[in-house]
A = this chain, B = another copy of it.
Amino acid sequence: MNTYLDCIPCFLKQALNAARAATDDEVQMKLVLDTLARLIPDIPLNQPPPETARLIYRTVREVTGVSDPFKAYKDESIKNALLLYEGLKSTVNSSEDPLHMAVKVAITGNVIDLGANPDYDLEKEMKSVLNGSLAVDHFQSFRQSLEKAETVLFLGDNAGETVFDRILIETMGKETLYTVRETPIINDATVEEAQKSGIGEVARIISSGCDTPGTLLKRCSQEFLDIFSSAQLIISKGQGNFESLSDEKAPIFFLFKVKCPVVSRHVGADEGEMILKNSIIPS
C-alpha cells in the first residue's frame, strides 16, 4: 500500500506521541517535530507508510537519546494480556469452533489498547468483540489453507497482542515461526517481548531483520526473505504489516483492526472493524 497524503499529518502526530513517550522536555518534542517537518518534502508517496515511520522513530531516538520509548508500555501490555490468558483459553476451548474463536481472539489482541485500560474494562471489551463479526471474513479459505500447510510463518505486531497470538498458535497446532522486529519501534514486539509473552514455548521466535513497524521486505534480512519466499502459509498481524505487504504475491492472511481512515478506504471497511483477509481474494 502506498503512502496517502492523509498519512503526512499523521506522521507528525505519531512523532509527537513517540517524543512524549521518550521525554518530558517540550523543547525536545518541538525539535522532533521540526526535524521531521524538514524531511516531509522527501517522503516517498510510492512507499508504504512504515518506511516513513522508520524515519520518525529514528528522529525521536536521535533527538531524545531514548532508544525504546515505549518499553514500560510494552511490559504493562504484556502483563495485562497475560492476566487474560487463561480466560481466553477457556473461551476458545469451549467454543463450537475453537479455530474460528482463536482467530477472533488474535484479531482482538490487535483491537485493544492494552496499556490504557484496566483489566476489567479489557475483559468487558473482549467479550463484546468476541461476540461480534468480522467486516472481511475469509475464514473458510483460512481453514482450508491451514489444513494443507505443514508450517506457519506468523508475523507478529504489538507487544501484548503477542499473548493473544500465542492462543491462536496453540489452537492451530502447527509448527510455527514467529517473526518480530529487529529493534524497538513504537510498541511492536521484539524478541524480548515475544519471549515475555510465552511465545517461545509454542513457536520458534525469529527477527525479520527489519526496523520498520511493518514487515517491509526491502528492509528484512536475507535469512527472513528466504523463509518468507518459501512459506506455505503466512499470518500477518496488524495494520503496519498489512500496509507493508498488501501488494506482495504470497500466501498471506492479514488479521488486523482498521485503525485509520486511510486503511479504512483502502480495504473498504469502517475504522474499528476487524479484518481477516486473504491476500489473493479481493475484498
Contact = CB atoms under 8 A, between A and B. Distances in A.
A29 B5 contact: yes
A30 interface: yes
A149 interface: no
A5 B33 CA distance: 9
Nearest to A33: B8
| Chain A: number of interface residues, binned into ranges | 10 to 19
Interface stretch (A10-18, A103-111, A240-248): A10-18
Contacts of A34: 40-41
Interface in A1-57: 5-6, 8-10, 12-13, 16, 26, 29-30, 33-34, 37-38, 40-41, 45
Given A37-B37, A37-B40, A37-B41, 13 more contacts: A5-B33, A6-B13, A6-B16, A8-B33, A9-B9, A9-B13, A9-B16, A12-B12, A30-B45, A34-B40, A37-B38, A38-B40, A38-B41
A10 B33 CA distance: 12
Contacts of A38: 37-38, 40-41
